[in-house]
Amino acid sequence: MAKLYFRYGTMNSGKSIEVLRVAHNYEEQGKKVLLFTPSIDDRFGMGMVKSRIGMQKEAIVVDEHLDMRVVAAAERPNCVLVDEAQFLQPYQVKQLIDIVDDLNIPVMAYGLRADFLGQLFPGSSQLLAVADTIEEIKTVCWYCDKKAIMNMRCKDGKPIFHGEQIHIGGNESYIPVCRKCYASKKKIFLETLKGLSL
């Protein structure tokens, strides 16, 4: 019986390398994989999944017009992989459910759980609600040795706590942090803002 998996982690936890590893394992066995990535993430070029260590693979671009279920029904892969799944809309997560339930094809979706303010992304929220299996991909805090669970946005190397939910970036824009370090840096940020306004 196929399942919908949601594998989440902070920035820099190795989600994309895991996507590429799983794709490689299937393909090495002569099995077919469909790899999807949302159109909003164009850091490495449209339709490209790339890890920070340099591995990359072309993917099918998911925009508001693409129906992933239709593509999967036509291609009949052994597995469907989705990178940056936090950027999916709820109706697109429903397409993944249909791939699993109607086509009996396993789907593994990888993404962030929450944004830099600790708010769930629409895609992540929906996946957390409906996935058969939810797994965390772990990494350590940038500032200490605790497990990172938050994404801290930075500008010019300094943490910031304001802005739009979506800002595409990599190590120059985000670092993984634990909740305690996040709170500490946010307190300093707010105190600095308060001092500037006096």
Instruction: Please give the single-letter amino acid code of residue 13.
Output: S
Per-residue pLDDT, 58:
85
Contact status, residue 72 vs residue 105, Cβ threshold 8 Å: yes
Q: What is the pLDDT of residues 118-157, one digit of tens each?
A: 999 999 999 999 999 999 999 999 999 999 999 999 888 8
pLDDT tens by residue, 54-87: 677 889 999 999 999 999 999 999 999 999 999 9
Catalytic residue among 64, 84, 135, 136: 84
The DSSP bridge partners found for residue 175 are 152
* Dihedral sign computed on CA atoms, order 165, 169, 175, 178: positive
Cα(62)–Cα(95) distance, integer angstroms: 11
pLDDT of residue 192: 79
Dihedral of CA 60/129/131/52: which sign?
A: positive
What are the sequence ranges of the domains in the chain?
Answer: 4-197
pTM metric for this prediction: 0.89
- 4-54 pLDDT, tens digit each: 999 999 988 989 899 999 999 999 999 999 999 988 766 656 777 767 666
Fold of 4-197: Rossmann fold (3.40.50)
Which residue from 69, 11, 70, 71 is spatially nearest to 41, judged by alpha carbons?
11
- The two counts, helices (H) then strands (E), for the chain are 5, 11
CB 19 within 8 A of CB 58: no
Active site residue 84: yes
